[in-house]
Every structure is written in C-alpha cells, then in structure tokens.
Amino acid sequence: MVAAGSALVLRSVERPDARAVRNDDGNSAHKITGANAGGPRQSPVRACWAARIASVLGLGKKTMSRFESITFSEVESSDLETFYEHQLDPEAIRMAAFVCEDPKDKVAFDAHWDKILNSSQITKRTIVAEGQVAGHISCYPHGENIEVTYWLGREFWGRGLATQALNRMLHLVVDRPIFARAATDNIGSIRVLQKCGFKIIGKNKDFANGRGEDTEEYILRLDLDQANE
C-alpha cells in the first residue's frame, strides 16, 4: 500500500530541529532543518490537524509552492505519534485502501512499528518538511521482493514532497527491482511512482480494509534501467 499516506500517521510535543540523519555514504550527521535554523519544530498536532492528508500521496486541488527545507532522517520514537495521527485521517485511509484492520488500534500500531524499528532488513526514514514531521517512507522485504511504501499527512500533499522523498529512497536503496502497490484510483500515488520510473506490470483485486470492499490495485516495478538519475 502506498499512501502519501500506506503505505501510511502526530505528536503534541515540540522539540528542537536538530536530528541525527544518515548521509548517502551511511555516515551519521546532524542537520538543522526548518525555516528558522535551530528553532523548535511546530507542533505536528496543530500543523497536521489544520490540513490533513492521506495515504499514498494524493494531489491537492490547489497549486501550492514547494517546500524550501526537506530533511530525510532516521525514524525516532518521538515521530511515531505523528505517524499514528496521520493514519487516522479518513480520506487518507480510503485513498490508501489496503491498510491495517483497525487504524485506531494504538496497541497494534505500536507493535507494528516496534518490529519495523528493530528490523535490520527494513530501510525506514522520517520525512521532515519545513521543520514538521510530514510522514515516512520505507523499503522492506516482501517474499523474495523488495517493496516501497510511504505515507504523508494531508497538508503535505500535492507539493512534490512524495516524489522528492521517493527519489531519495531510491538512491539510498540501490537493489533492483523494487515493487510498489497502489489502488487503481489513487492517481496521485501512481503519478509519483511513474515519475520515479516505476512501470505498471499487473493488477490485483483483494479486500481493502480502508474501503470495506474488494478493491483493485496496480502492481508497479522499478528496474535498474528505469531508475531516475
């Protein structure tokens, strides 16, 4: 599931913008993000509830300016409350379609992320835009394949953020092919994936918890010669 939101969740505590980030060469470093370098992040609760966004990246109806400051950083435990709040957005849930059975189940959410954070096989990053936690993106093993999934809060949709985050992840995870899935009517996420070189290779239909009915999804694949340089 890809959701500019799956693919797809807020925190009430403000904290400094200094975050440990990993460079492309794998070395750790600290980077200051946000409009006011060194200043506190805006509260995700205030920012995210003001304008929500959902799974697999939907595109907004209005044209909005792109973000000036974007950080791709290691997932911190303090980011998880924001991720949780993002996944409660009804519009995002419907767009992502293939979500967990009960997005409100905090115990299940915590257990799910505990496995992610403790897995060496999953590459996961928090997406920070203008000093705010905007969402997350991960590459993970699915059977013999590698799949990518991402989720953005709705206020971050339609501004090129998903495409930038996916491009960064595809330079970080160099194994190919990489697969992705998106509901066939999730035009925003499909467009993001195609911009990054993914091709539709098939279609599947299965029950989607986010819609309470069988839903069609596209299966997309990125091969080595399709990757954006």
Does residue 70 form part of some domain?
yes
Write down the pLDDT at residue 215. 97
What count of residues does the chain have? Answer: 229
Q: Are 121 and 64 in contact (CB under 8 A)?
A: no
Write down the pLDDT at residue 1. 53
Structural domain harbouring 78: 41-226
Identify the CA nearest to 139 among candidates 163, 159, 122, 151: 122
Write down the pLDDT at residue 98. 94
Write down the pLDDT at residue 167. 95
Write down the pLDDT at residue 18. 37
Identify the CA nearest to 130 among candidates 46, 218, 42, 197: 42
CA of residue 200 relative to chain centroid, distance:
20
**What does the alpha-carbon distance between residue 183 and residue 171 come to, in Å, rounded to a whole number?**
25
For 215, the 3-state DSSP assignment is strand
Inter-helix orientation angle 161-172/187-195, to 10°: 40
pLDDT tens for the 229 residues of the chain, in order: 555 433 332 222 233 333 443 344 333 333 322 333 333 444 444 333 333 333 334 433 444 557 877 889 999 999 999 999 999 999 999 999 999 999 999 999 999 999 999 999 999 999 999 899 999 999 999 999 999 999 999 999 989 999 999 999 999 999 999 999 999 999 999 999 999 999 999 999 999 999 999 999 999 999 986 554 4
Does residue 24 form part of some domain?
no
Does residue 181 form part of some domain?
yes
- Considering its fold, how many domains does the chain have in total? 1
Does residue 146 form part of some domain?
yes
Q: For residue 108, what is the domain's CATH number?
A: 3.40.630.30
Global model pTM greater than 0.85: no
Write down the pLDDT at residue 32. 25
Does residue 130 form part of some domain?
yes
Whether omega before 40 lies within 30 degrees of 0, making that bond cis, reads no
Write down the pLDDT at residue 224. 83
Does residue 118 form part of some domain?
yes
Does residue 18 form part of some domain?
no
Does residue 32 form part of some domain?
no
